[in-house]
Amino acid sequence: MTALEAVDVTRTYTMGGVEVTALRGVSLAIEEGEYAAILGPSGSGKSTLMHLLGCLDRPTTGVLRIGGRDVAGLSDTELAELRNRRVGFVFQSFHLLARTSTRDNVALPLVYRGVPRAERRRRAAEALATVGLEHRLEHRPGQLSGGEQQRVAIARALVGDPGVVLADEPTGNLDTRTGDGVMDLLERLNRERGVAVVLVTHEADVAARARRRVHVRDGLVERDESP
């Protein structure tokens, strides 16, 4: 089954009266359980594509589907709910709340779903154990290393049991060894739990480990290498 799909999407940003077209007509289907890397030069539209695939943003033209369902007709609230259930996001800059404990950061997606507090706490602790941070539940992000913060972000992406995790340069801010640990973690989730993983990377060795490589250039998919 197709987890996420973009059909001929474009995205034009307007800034101070100037239009910038970040995507010029991209079609991409992400299948359940797959492991794909998105590659391309800076400014080529990779993050824009990730935001659209995960329905964090709406396209200027074209169709987006989550689990086969066209999202165009959904209200922002309905879309947020669907996204919250199906997709986990990991951003390069972690996006963690500074004054909030690790456990509560991870539990946040469940707040939006109306999960009761005790269950949120239990599931957040479980997700943190998955990423090897069961001993850091009450730390704040600032009290953690970069690699640990990235793992907290992964735990938060996983806590709702999504079918797909979208990771935008998840190792970009990490040294090689810490980055390898994060990659091992994502690979394990894919292999053992069947979570589809789509990641943006600039690193050749990270891309080489993916089963599919999508090359983006100037707002278009230039090459899509699948087995």
- Strand 61-66, strand 220-225: pairing: unpaired
- Using the rule CB under 6 A, is 185 a contact of ligand ATP? no
Residue 107: CB minimum distance to ligand ATP, A: 29
Closer CB to ligand ATP, 26 or 157, in the complex:
26
* Block residue for tokens 């987890």: 3
Among 45, 141, 170, 179, binds ligand ATP (CB under 6 A): 45
Residue 113: CB minimum distance to ligand ATP, A: 28
Residue 45 binding partner per list Mg ion, ligand ATP, none, with a CB distance cut-off of 5 to 8 Å that depends on partner kind:
ligand ATP
Among 1, 15, 98, 204, binds ligand ATP (CB under 6 A): 15
Termini Cα distance of the chain: 17
The amino acid at residue 148 is E
Of the CA atoms within 13 Å of residue 129, those in its CB half-sphere come to 6
- Using the rule CB under 6 A, is 215 a contact of ligand ATP? no
* Block residue for tokens 């983006």: 216
Closer CB to Mg ion, 47 or 190, in the complex:
47
Residue 43 binding partner per list Mg ion, ligand ATP, none, with a CB distance cut-off of 5 to 8 Å that depends on partner kind:
ligand ATP
Measured CA to CA in angstroms, residue 97 lies from 58, 108, 155 at distances of 25, 10, 14
Residue 46: CB minimum distance to ligand ATP, A: 3
The amino acid at residue 68 is G
**Closest listed residue to residue 27, CA positions, set 218, 214, 165, 226:** 214
- Strand 61-66, strand 87-90: pairing: unpaired
**Closest listed residue to residue 182, CA positions, set 160, 210, 152, 212:** 152
- Using the rule CB under 6 A, is 22 a contact of ligand ATP? yes
Residue 57: CB minimum distance to ligand ATP, A: 9
Q: Are the C-beta atoms of residues 151 and 132 closer than 8 Å to each other?
A: yes
Measured N-to-C along each axis, helices 117-130 and 146-158 cross at an angle, to the nearest 10 degrees, of 130
3-state secondary structure of 8: strand
Closer CB to ligand ATP, 48 or 102, in the complex:
48
Closer CB to ligand ATP, 39 or 155, in the complex:
39
- Using the rule CB under 6 A, is 42 a contact of ligand ATP? yes
Among 5, 34, 44, 144, binds ligand ATP (CB under 6 A): 44
Residue 67: CB minimum distance to Mg ion, A: 25
- Using the rule CB under 6 A, is 170 a contact of ligand ATP? no
Closer CB to ligand ATP, 158 or 197, in the complex:
197
